[in-house]
Amino acid sequence: MLIYKELTHVMCGAAIEVHSQLGPGLLESAYEQCLCHELALRDIKLQRQVPLPVTYKGVRLDSGYKLDVVVDEKVILELKTVESLLPIHEAQLLTYLRLSKMKVGLLLNFNMPTMKDGIKRLVL
């Protein structure tokens, strides 16, 4: 059984809608703004650019990391506009999940001919 299956399904649908309207070739910030608007239209609670501190040897450090979008305090959306998703992108999202203590994340690469080919779901 998939964790947050229905919620992530809605997020994927919203990403596909944004991509179908805009196509590839824009900056991540444009897709983030449009995706957040699309999710809001679907009554999805979210936060943008959420600070992610790093705890090192018991000390909480403001490291400057920010989560692109956090949906319903459960799922991290990491947006990309790259030629293809690489293992480092997955490692980044898995680290964000571990540090935030969330379980589910979606890597969304908007620089694809079809959005469904740019979606990768990761679970800790």
Convert 104-124 to b/e letters by CB count within 10 Å (16 or more is b): bbbbbbbbbeebeebbbbbee
What rounded mean pLDDT belongs to the chain? 95
Q: Where are the domains of the chain?
A: 5-123
Please tell me the pTM assigned to this model.
0.92
pLDDT in tens, 17-65: 999 999 999 999 999 999 999 999 999 999 999 999 898 898 988 888 9
Q: What is the fold, at CATH topology level, of the domain defined by 5-123? A: Endonuclease; Chain A (3.40.960)
- φ/ψ of 15, rounded to 5, equals -65, -40
**Residue 92, strand partner residues:** none
pLDDT of residue 62: 84
